[in-house]
């Protein structure tokens, strides 16, 4: 499973990318707002750091304006992925971008039927928001499983990009469900290495090494 970082924090992206735990980046207007910087400048800087896909979201809600914004974003760097909302206008734009060879990420997916539509119009990625479904007491992981089965049934090439990841448990369950990609905040990715038994075992080894005078 590929790991994307869901952030516009340049320092966090640099750190995780250097560690080998970053295959791409997803952004959205809310994350860019937190950075307090110009939208296109942030996307350009991220693309200089990361070789993998970098999702940049259009602001428009009408197809023709989405196309204009998407084409402007695609000029920033070759690895920009145009992020589109899962609306009929967004799907129309996705179809045109697919025909033009422009990578797309259809976002705000909350049902298997929506994911089916995105695959039909050639989306590169579909982003089901599992955490937001959990918030309204709907099983977000079940959605990942449903999309995986539908895509496998028909050989769709759209990659399942599990989004709205809130915890290491979400990451594990998405991997078990067959998501192609997961995107999560830096803290969630860093937290995947944590386990109390690892900490306890390391502390014991270090104590024994010190008591035995072991050096390397």
pLDDT tens per residue across span 121-151: 999 999 999 999 999 999 999 999 999 999 9
Helices (H), 155-214: 168-177, 186-191, 196-212
Residue 215's pLDDT band (cuts 50, 70, 90): confident
Look at residue 184 and give its three-state secondary structure.
Answer: strand
Q: How confident is the model at residue 36 (pLDDT cuts 50, 70, 90)?
A: confident
Q: What percent of the chain has pLDDT over 70?
A: 100
Read off the DSSP letter of residue 163.
B
CA distance 12 to 180: 23
**The token pair that represents 40 in the structure block:** 């296109």
Question: How many CB atoms sit inside 10 A of residue 213's CB?
Answer: 6
- pLDDT at position 34, please? 87
CB neighbour list of residue 132: distance below 8 Å, 6 or more residues apart:
110, 140, 164
Counting Cα atoms < 13 Å in the Cβ hemisphere of 34 gives: 9
| pTM of the entire predicted model | 0.94
pLDDT confidence tier of residue 35, bands split at 50, 70 and 90: confident
Token readout for 173 is: 């369950």
For 54-86, write each residue's pLDDT tens digit: 999 999 999 999 999 999 999 999 999 999 999
Distance of CA 39 to the CA centre of its chain: 18
* Token pair listed for 32: 């860019």
**Average pLDDT in the chain:** 96
Q: Which domains does the chain have, with CATH numbers?
A: 2-212 (3.20.20.70)
Active site residues: 83
């Amino acid at each position: 499973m590929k790991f994307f970082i869901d952030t516009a924090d340049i320092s966090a992206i640099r750190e995780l990318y250097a560690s080998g735990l970053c295959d791409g980046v997803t952004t959205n207007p809310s994350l860019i707002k937190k950075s307090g910087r110009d939208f296109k400048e942030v996307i350009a800087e991220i693309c200089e750091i990361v070789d993998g896909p970098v999702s940049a979201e259009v602001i428009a809600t009408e197809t023709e304006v989405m196309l204009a914004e998407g084409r402007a974003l695609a000029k920033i760097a070759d690895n920009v992925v145009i992020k589109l909302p899962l609306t009929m206008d967004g799907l129309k734009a996705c179809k045109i971008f697919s025909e033009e060879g422009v990578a797309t990420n259809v976002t705000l997916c909350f049902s298997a039927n929506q994911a089916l539509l995105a695959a039909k119009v050639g989306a590169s990625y579909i982003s089901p928001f599992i955490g937001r479904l959990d918030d309204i007491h709907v099983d977000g992981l079940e959605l990942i499983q449903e999309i995986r089965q539908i895509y496998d049934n028909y050989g769709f090439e759209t990659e399942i990009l599990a989004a709205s990841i809130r915890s290491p448990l979400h990451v594990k369950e998405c991997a078990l469900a067959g998501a192609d990609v997961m995107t999560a905040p830096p803290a969630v990715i860093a937290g995947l290495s944590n386990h109390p038994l690892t900490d306890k075992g390391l502390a014991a080894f270090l104590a024994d090494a010190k008591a035995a005078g072991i050096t390397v």
